Chains A and B, each alone.
Chain A
Amino acid sequence: DTGVSQNPRHKITKRGQNVTFRCDPISEHNRLYWYRQTLGQGPEFLTYFQNEAQLEKSRLLSDRFSAERPKGSFSTLEIQRTEQGDSAMYLCASSSTGRGGDTQYFGPGTRLTVL
């Protein structure tokens, strides 16, 4: 069990550029979540996958945001035409099904800074 990994750990970009983050969940975890955390706040839910199906999207996820999990393993989160308000820590979590399946394990996050 190597834990949830996220890449890159830090990303600095200019306003208007596109960025993509990657999340590798704990192996055999078929549920994957994305959250966003701004300074001094708790994480806020963005979207959720069960296997490759995206089952829920928060209204926080504007049309500039898109997430995929093409083979039910790793996931990517893309932000198009970044804005300064997108600056935050983007967290990925995963969980299994079955007993204890509501327990989510978080990765280290990707910190995005939009200049």
Chain B
Amino acid sequence: GENVEQHPSTLSVQEGDSAVIKCTYSDSASNYFPWYKQELGKGPQLIIDIRSNVGEKKDQRIAVTLNKTAKHFSLHITETQPEDSAVYFCAASRGGSGGSNYKLTFGKGTLLTVNP
């Protein structure tokens, strides 16, 4: 089955700096890669996603890059703000191909702290 590794497990930055979180996956058939933000006591909130036919996607201060050959993808947050502090999860899915039924395999998460 799929295995997703996520690094670092904790990340502390100063407000205004950039933050980068990296993930690798093992299943070459995975073709959908979402990122979720989870605040304490809440469910994961989708912040951005990318599909395997795209190498990069950007939404305001958030961007995701995908390297299918190397099987890794990264989340980039620019101009970080204290409200960006949360746990971030990457995930991978086959998107329904091969009978996988769209299930997501998650990394273990990165605790991002943005210091004012």
Which residue numbers of A lie inside 8 Å of B, CB to CB? 4, 6, 31, 33, 35, 40-45, 48, 50, 55-56, 91, 95, 101-109, 111
> Looking at chain A's contact residues, is the secondary structure mostly helix, strand, loop, or mixed?
strand
Verify if B98 is at the interface (C-beta below 8 Å from A). no
Of the listed stretches B11-19, B69-77, B78-86, B87-95, name the one at the interface; the rest are far from the partner chain.
Answer: B87-95
Shortest Cβ gap from B27 to chain A (Å): 14
Known contacts A42-B91, A44-B106; is-contact A108 B42 (Cβ 8 Å): yes
C-alpha spacing A43/B109, complex, angstroms: 10
Inter-chain contact total with CB atoms closer than 8 Å:
63
Contact status B42-A45, CB under 8 Å: no
Which 7 interchain pairs have the tightest Cβ spacing?
A: A42-B106, A106-B43, A45-B103, A102-B95, A102-B32, A56-B101, A108-B43
Which residue numbers of B lie inside 8 Å of A, CB to CB? 4, 6, 32, 34, 36, 41-46, 49, 89, 91, 93, 95-96, 101-109
C-alpha spacing A88/B50, complex, angstroms: 29
What residues of chain A lie closer than 8 Å to B44, measured between beta carbons? 43, 91, 106
Contact status B109-A55, CB under 8 Å: no
